[in-house]
Each structure stands twice: as structure tokens, then as C-alpha cells.
Structure 1
Amino acid sequence: MAQLWLHLCICFQIPGFCTNLLLSQTPGHILAQTNNKTEIRCELKKEHTGVYWYRWSQERQNFEFLVFSNPLGKATYGTNISQDKFSVQGASSHSSYSLRISQLRDSDNGTYYCSISQSFQLLLGSGTHLGVVDVLPLPPKTTEAPLSTKPVRRVTKSKAVSKKGACSPLVWVPLATSVLVLLLSLVPTAYRLYRLRRRLWLRIHRQ
């Protein structure tokens, strides 16, 4: 047992030294509200005799044993650890365990580790940092860029024409062209009327 704690201290002094791929711990971070509950999951990829749960408190500089759960579901709690606050739920296949923490308090802040014992060593999970706050922060609001209030000066086509004056080529050239086309279209009509009038005059005088 002394060798286990000695190895545990070495692992703790060098963060991540004993974490390995045999334990998959999720989630990595939890932010929860006071008086609520939360859950940490640990998946095991190797045969084991049980799962240990520990908590590291940065404020108290303390690595605390919480609870041990064997494959039969029997739990052994650490000193002054409440069974109503901490509970362990294991899957029927014994491949995953969940640590449930209820009635969260500020004192529950810390990093939680699941662990198994292999060859006189404690193999630690990657750790889950738990932060307990009185009020959860609101999600950031999306802000839109303010619309420009500077007036945009627009010049319409009619105003642009009026500024050039009534004698502008843009005004009289199309007008003169239209008048000329109209006059040319009236010439054949006038000629037909003239011939019709002459025929009527000749017919009347012959009678």
C-alpha cells in the first residue's frame, strides 16, 4: 500500500505522467451551479479489480481519496466522505463507471480523477476539472455592426438632365429626330389624299 501512495505522489507531482490510454475520462471540464448535481464518466479498456476516485484541490493543496467501487458494486468511502453526496454507478459490463456528485458546494471545486491499480501502480485518468458557481454565466450575445447614419447623396436621371439645361443635345436631338420621322411618315399619306381628291374631281366634271 505504501508503494501505491508513493507512486501516486510521483504521478501527481508530474502532471500527466501516469495518465494513459487505458482510462478514458469525460468530460474534461464541468461548470455547474450551486445545489445542483453533476456526473463524471470513466471508461476502462483493461481488466481491473475496481475503480478509485480522487480529488485534487488546488486551494487546499490536497489530494483526497473519495471512494472505491469494486466490480460487485460494493463501495468503500474515504474519511469524512458523505455517501449521500458521492455515489458510483457501474455498467453491467464493468467497462465504465460514473461518479455522481450531488448538492454541489464551493468546497467541491477541484480536479477529479478515476484510477485503477495495475502492478503496484495507480493509473490515472485524464482528469475532470469541476467549477461550482452561484450563477452560471450568460452566453455571449452576437453583436451586429452599426448601420451608417451618414446620408447618401443620390442624383436621379431627371435631375441630371435638368441641370444641363433645355438646350442640351440630350433633349433636342431625340425630339428633332421624332419630328422628322413624323413628317416623313405623313408625306405618303398626303400624296394619297391628293390623288384621291383629284380622281373625285375628274369624275364629277366628266359627268
Structure 2
Amino acid sequence: MVWPWLHLYICLQIPGFYTLLTQTPGHLPAQTNSKTEMLCEVKKEHTGVYWYRWSQERQHFEFLVFSNMLGKATYGTNVSRDKFSVHEARAHSSYTLHISHLHPSDSGTYYCSISQSSQLLLGSGTQLRVADALPLPPKTTQTPVSKKPVPRITKSKAASRTGPCSPLVWIPLAAGVLLLLLGLVPAALRLHRLRRRLWLRIHRQ
């Protein structure tokens, strides 16, 4: 039959359908030979939940399993019952798909789906990536704090001699003041003599 796949393709192109069925997580990395699970929450009345897998490599949808309200499962062609199982919880509003014995060929995008008016409404999808070894998270390296000793400030003898009260400072200063005074004395005497001569000339006239 062609119509289920046609409606399935149409629903994939309409984001509005995603709000009725919510899947978590969106991306799911897993390692070979391990097991994993993904959750589907249904917000609309239904008679059961379908699970499909979209293979990007093979470019087609594959029907995996259908779980009805009574918990009875119907599997697709060549789908192993030991590999896939569906568990229902919370009054038929939450379904968990369990996948065991993972292999890289299990990689793909998994969709839960319900049937409404001859249409298949799809969930938001969970992208499963299976690899032989998962990439390790990057290590965060911290720069080691150097414990260098803080140098102590010590006053040397030469520094102590050059302080504000050091003889090397006030002796040249005193000598400069003395030379200045010695230079001012002759100038003062000359000025006094000049004033006296001017006074004598004024009185003689």
C-alpha cells in the first residue's frame, strides 16, 4: 500500500504535528553492543503507538513495531522481538522504545506515530547514532598556579644612606645655601653703598 508512506512523508514536512507527539531525547549517541531507550509522549487520543525508523543511508522508512492499548505488540518484517520492545506508562500517554544489542546499522531517526483519520501523525523524532566507540568529552586543563616566593623588599645600606636625613643629601644642600649667602653679602654691600652715594648727592644739591 502506498498511502501510509505518502501520509507519513507529508506529516514529516509539517512541523505542527510535532506538538501532538513529543520525543526525548532529540539526539542519542550509543555504543555498539549496548542498549538504549527513547521516550514518546502522546497528547491526543489514540488506539496505539507505531514506531518507525528513517534510514538516511538507505533513504526509506521501516516499520518496527506497533503497541496497542492492551500492550500487545505487532512487529514489522524481519524485526527481532528480542531487539525491540515497547513499555507503556502514565495511563497510555507515555511510551518508551527499548533497543538492545545495538549495531551501527541501527543508526537513524526514530519516530513514534499515531493514526488519526487515515493519517499517521509523527513525533518530533530521536536521532540515534551507534558507533564502536563514543568520543570522549574534551578535557578541561587548568593552568597551574605558580608558587614563586614573593621577593622581600630589604633596605640596603646604600639605600639607607640616601634617605631624606642622610648626610649625602643635607651636606650638599647646606653648602649650596652657604654659597648663596656668601654671594648675597657683597651684593648687599654694593647696594648699600649705592644708596648712600645717591643720598649724599641729593643733599649736596
TM-fit CA distance, 1:116:
0.4
- Contact 1:18 1:124 (C-alpha < 8 Å) held by counterparts: no
TM-fit CA distance, 1:52:
0.5
TM-fit CA distance, 1:90:
1.0
Q: What is the match of residue 91 of structure 1? A: 89
1:155–1:98 Cα change, 3 Å:
closer
1-structure distance, mates of 2:61, 2:54: 4
- Contact 1:18 1:123 (C-alpha < 8 Å) held by counterparts: no
2-structure distance, mates of 1:51, 1:138: 35
Q: List aligned pairs for 1:44-193, cutoff 5 A.
A: 44-91=42-89, 93-145=91-143, 156-159=153-156, 162-164=157-159, 166=161, 168-171=163-166
The aligned amino acid for 1:4 is P
The aligned amino acid for 2:36 is T
TM-fit CA distance, 1:94:
0.9
Aligned residues: 168
2-structure distance, mates of 1:170, 1:138: 69
**Sequence identity percentage:** 63
**Alignment RMSD (CA, Å):** 2.7
Gaps of 5+ in 2: 168-205
Mean Cα deviation higher: 89-98 or 16-25: 16-25
